[in-house]
A and B are shown apart, each in its own frame.
Chain A
Amino acid sequence: MSDTQPVVTSALSRAAVERHSAAAGEPVWLLERRLQAWEAFVRLAPPAATDEEWRRTDLSALDLDALQPLLAAGVRKATPPAPLMRLVGDPAAAAGLHLAVDGTPIQSWLAAELVRSGVVFAPLGEAVRTHADLVREYLGSVVRDDENKYRALHGALWSGGTFLYVPDGVEVDLPLVSGTWLDRDGVLLSPHTLIVAGEQSRVTLVELSASREADARTLINHAVELIPKPGARIRYVNLEDWGRNVWELGVVRTLAQRDSTVHTLMVAFGAGLVKTNVESRLVGPGATSEMLGVMFGDGAQHFDYHTLQEHVAPSTTSDLLYKGAFKDRARSIFAGLIRADYGAQKTNAFQLNRNLILSDGARADSMPKLEIMANDLRCTHGASTSRLNEDQIFYLMSRALPRATAVRMMIDGFFAEIFDRIPLDMVRERLSRAIERKMAEA
């Protein structure tokens, strides 16, 4: 059905980087960046298991050489597969939509009036060609390629992902939606998302990804850069429902400028292992970051979230709430750091991690940490891990609800605190479906 199959190289190599860049027709500056990142990748050692950040997430079983890098090859018009359609739901509820299969874009549209007002919503690879100056200015300005070995690999081989640019003062009401479906396994996919929201603009991007359940290990190595200009408001949702063969490493970082507001919501249902850093650097006075997380683990899933609320400028606010439910032998790590730099006076920083353990074999560790250099601030943090309350279950059952229904209602109730804070029905519906599915598997 297509003449441009994804390019698959035999291994990770400098030559693969060059081939990929050439095939995508990339400008020289980008090739040079990729090669620099490649050198960093070769130079940097993998994170040591003794490293505090990696102590609880063991990647030693990850064989990078066994992975085939999956690189976007232009645009391939195709009918979206059914699971991708289910994932993205009703396109009428969106102001723009991107669909990609195996890293290659298959559909992309944006409401005409947004195109007219100068909004750019395109696969990042395409934006490199169509909006070279913008991409060049912002790409890599928040997440650097040499931060660690995996970020370097990302920098060398990123492919796919989304570029979203909203001009000053433009307000986009409906969410923009980007859906990724992975049919192949044994691959390395490194999507990069870059959002630049101009002054006083407003936009929501919902990224949804999932894959076919398969055998061979796949690595997703993604990076997200969120750049709200003064007064801008960005809402970013990342929901993953990967197959269990997928390991996902990622970073989602915000650089919040004066009086801007960023909401992030990370939703983890799938994947065998997730290790993601979600970070807000509040560099402009008056900036606000709300960081929400929803995790539901079952089987042997392993979720590791390291979060950072870094207050650089004065009068900034960060408010984090991560909630996870864990069943079977699922494992969760939450390590949340609040840092208030010298001069970050009048900081408000809140952090709360709540976990619900649904089986004896499940486990959740919570490690809040504070580094406070300022002396005039309000800061609270807390963590709790609890089990289902049998008195509550009995109460619901005494009103004719079967136990399974009562338990579902209580899990929904556990997450309600977060949903009351997100005005996005589509996310709520997907969570409800995921809970149903996971609780149905005995």
Chain B
Amino acid sequence: MSAELLIKNLWAQVEDKVILKGANLAVRSGEIHALMGPNGSGKTTLAHVLMGNPFYQVIKGEVLYNNEDLLAMAPDDRARKGLFIAFQYPVSIPGVTMASFLRTAVSARRGYEKDHLMSLAEFQKLARAKVEELQVDPAVLGRYVNEGFSGGEKKRAEILQMALLEPEIAIMDETDSGLDVDAVKIVAAGVNRMYEASGKKMGVLVITHYPRILKYIKPTRVHVMFDGRIVTSGDADLAEELDQIGYDGIRAQYERVAAEVVGEGEVRSAGKVFWVQH
């Protein structure tokens, strides 16, 4: 299992508003990336576009998943092929229990034929193990999907789903926000375990506002998104620097750089140069 997600010059809009403006990023097996950036820069939009949310329209660009055209696939195909997103704002589905949803989802991910399910006993064993690992209240399995969950419960339930679906490439969208430090540690430990269990093959993109979670999930690369593009990338230290300089500092500097870029062309990653005072 060796996966590769390649995002090339991706532009996307919601309704009439262009949000992604030439995003470029590659996430490969075994790599752990962090994607940071101020509110509204388009991180969540990128995640939804990658999963094929029909609410977002791709205007141009390309996304390859293991050399296949990801954008041509239905969301369920993407998920079956190993892409996973832990959503920032998971929706609730009254009437559908977590247990029946997850059993169906795991069966689909594992390639069971249409409408065939893994045995109840096997599912229960699996679910119990994951619930325990992630220190999630087992009662969650009997509840309706995300219905009445607190913010923290929702985030943990997303990670539980991730653990059950064993993705090749996982995107975690602000999983840490709304969790206290202890919960962040539990979630991070869970993700690290998944990473190890995959033989260090899982690729992870951690979308986050704060460097906090990156203390526990160590990224190999850190990227900063601003106004729909990745404007800089660096190693793990970038996250710390970012924390000190703050997004306002970046914004001011970015706007200065952006003014020098002629037209709406692809913005080249400015690397660390980006925050040196001109």
Chain A residues near B (Cβ < 8 Å): 389-392, 394-403, 405-406, 409-410, 412-417
Contact = CB atoms under 8 A, between A and B. Distances in A.
Nearest to A395: B91
Contacts of A400: 76, 79-80, 105, 108-109, 165
Given A394-B53, A396-B101, A399-B101, A413 B96 contact: yes
Contacts of B101: 396, 399, 409
B91 A401 contact: no
B161 interface: yes
Contacts of A417: 94-95
B90 interface: yes
A402 B76 CA distance: 6
A403 B100 CA distance: 16
B108 A401 contact: yes
A390 to B, nearest CB: 7
Contact of A402 (B53, B91, B94, B108): B108
B125 interface: no
Q: Interface extent on B, as a size class?
A: 20 to 34
Nearest to B83: A398
18 contacts: A394-B52, A394-B54, A395-B87, A395-B93, A395-B145, A397-B74, A397-B76, A399-B79, A399-B108, A399-B165, A400-B108, A400-B109, A401-B76, A401-B104, A405-B108, A406-B76, A409-B101, A416-B144
A399 B53 contact: no
A322 to B, nearest CB: 16
B225 interface: no
Q: Give the interface SS of chain B, mostly helix, strand, loop or mixed.
A: mixed
A398 B51 contact: yes
Interface in B100-145: 100-101, 104-105, 108-109, 114-115, 144-145
B75 A413 contact: no
Contact of A395 (B90, B100, B104): B90
Given A394-B53, A403-B74, 5 more contacts: A398-B79, A398-B87, A399-B79, A402-B76, A416-B95
B169 to A, nearest CB: 13
A415 B95 contact: yes
B36 interface: no
B54 A392 contact: no
A389 B54 CA distance: 12
Interface in B55-112: 55, 74-76, 78-80, 85, 87, 90-91, 93-96, 100-101, 104-105, 108-109
A220 B96 CA distance: 36
Contacts of B104: 401, 405, 409
Contacts of A398: 51-53, 75-76, 78-79, 85, 87
B46 to A, nearest CB: 14
A399 B96 CA distance: 14
B195 to A, nearest CB: 20
Contacts of B100: 409
A165 B54 CA distance: 58
Contacts of A390: 54-55
Residue among B74, B78, B94, B165 with the most chain A CB within 10 A? Answer: B94
Contacts of B55: 390-391, 394
A416 B90 contact: no
A406 B52 CA distance: 15
A413 B114 CA distance: 19
Nearest to B102: A399
A252 to B, nearest CB: 26
Nearest to A405: B104
A412 B79 contact: no
A204 B85 CA distance: 47
B96 A391 contact: no
B109 A414 contact: no
Contact of A392 (B51, B91, B105, B114): B91
Contacts of B79: 397-400
B95 A413 contact: yes
A422 to B, nearest CB: 14
A401 B104 CA distance: 7
